[in-house]
Structure 1
């Protein structure tokens, strides 16, 4: 049985915990949780314990890693990923991350790679709200590939951002144009999937990213397009809620534990 811990105890962590309780992750045991909001960690641990599972609500990352988990699910933020990645990998703990935006920082990305190699651990990038990493990576390997990424959000998601203007309420507006690296610097939590797509294709400095605001649109739409001399592929995913991100973690964990790997 592989020991599993979670950092970030919100909505997405609840879905992963539910999947475990439903028997969808039989090869794993959730032994600990950690959140900067202690009550959230205590709530999730209590929920597991009410189902007869032993799960510790930890008050620090150090306490969590002392449990010697095999895998850590990061469902917090890019800042949290930057804080936990190296200590976890050096602890012998592999990571399944949703905050891929942290890896747009090239020096950090390289440091993570070195730590993983040195300690026999890995970082698994969950697909989150996009997908098709297999075809994206394959088309890139074939050479001479170009790629771009388009995100569509409803105006409701941008009303509190510095990019909001009243005209967004009645008309479509391009909010951002730039590279994936620039995108994650501008929207630290809103465009993680763009960084994931960039790492699967042409890199954070080359992937062209556009974000568009649309009145009355609910949810998120992510469209990745890649072309080379022989292949033209489009991965277009709409999600009404962020729930797909948590289920992508469940899928990744199943893949890790499966004799048949997708």
Structure 2
């Protein structure tokens, strides 16, 4: 199989997992040719690592998205934020680059989602949604195709990741409280980084405006617990994933990349 070219947007902690996978020889079907981050030094550090890796090669750190797109990568792994995805995705798809993303919140707007679909279709490119910290997309999509269904998404987390959001007050440091209840569109507006996974589940099922989301804050809670429940006339399924850290999200990018080129995809 011909080696695919790959670029990375967002050179933070989760993106470093892609570098770990590269170093372990888990991405042998790819050549990472470019990096971009809000801080150029991070992009440069990633590029240096790639160039020094036994399984890496020449890699260009970029000062802008435009410079990254000029490299014409086959794929771009976006591991930054919903705002970064919105800025990147249309130019990338038009450029001939397919996108693998964790920042699904950027697709919560139905009009923008339809524009992304249309652009990808017109330019022969694709958007691959990584599973992040959850799973069960296959079940959600299958049941939604099969018959009418309802979906709920309940998250439990500690107060720390909520400290710079509109729902925070000091009381949640010492008491358990449901801090949000609404649909996935409303959730992503309030929590652009914390509930990307709810939008992913919504897109795989009944749509962001139809999935009921709740977030409960528990004092001293470590990690996140995401519980998705789908009910239809014939099916009742629960996907419940607890993750102590966010590492599973980074590794889901690696798994998506491997599925793209694998003769057998899971």
| Cα shift readout 1:88-144 (whole Å, capped 9, x = no counterpart) | 001110000000001001111111111100000000000001111001111111112
In the superposition, the TM-score normalised over structure 1's length comes to 0.98
Q: Look up the match of 1:163.
A: 167
Q: Is this contact kept in 1: 2:35–2:59, CA < 8 A?
A: yes
Q: Look up the match of 2:32.
A: 30
Q: Please give the alpha-carbon distance, in whole angstroms, between the structure 2 residues aligned to 1:206 and 1:39.
A: 41
Q: Is this contact kept in 2: 1:142–1:228, CA < 8 A?
A: no
Shift of 1:33: 0.2
Q: Please give the alpha-carbon distance, in whole angstroms, between the structure 2 residues aligned to 1:255 and 1:144.
A: 29
Q: Please give the alpha-carbon distance, in whole angstroms, between the structure 1 residues aligned to 2:172 and 2:38.
A: 34
Equivalent position to 1:47, from 49, 56, 72: 49
Q: Is this contact kept in 2: 1:128–1:193, CA < 8 A?
A: yes
In the superposition, the TM-score normalised over structure 2's length comes to 0.96
Q: Look up the match of 2:225.
A: 221
Moved over 4 A (4+): none
Shift of 1:159: 2.7
Secondary structure at 2:260 match in 1: helix
Shift of 1:160: 3.2
Q: Is this contact kept in 1: 2:166–2:190, CA < 8 A?
A: no
Q: Is this contact kept in 2: 1:145–1:228, CA < 8 A?
A: yes
Q: Please give the alpha-carbon distance, in whole angstroms, between the structure 2 residues aligned to 1:73 and 1:89.
A: 12
Q: Please give the alpha-carbon distance, in whole angstroms, between the structure 1 residues aligned to 2:217 and 2:237.
A: 24
Q: Please give the alpha-carbon distance, in whole angstroms, between the structure 2 residues aligned to 1:27 and 1:159.
A: 41
Q: Look up the match of 2:136.
A: 132
1:236-255 superposed matches below 5 A: 236-255=240-259
Q: Look up the match of 1:198.
A: 202
Q: What RMSD, in angstroms, separates the aligned Cα atoms of the two structures?
A: 1.0
Count of residue pairs the alignment pairs up: 262
What residue ranges of structure 1 are gaps of 5+ in the alignment? none
Shift of 1:158: 1.9
Shift of 1:257: 0.6
Q: Is this contact kept in 1: 2:165–2:191, CA < 8 A?
A: no
Secondary structure at 1:11 match in 2: coil
What residue ranges of structure 2 are gaps of 5+ in the alignment? none
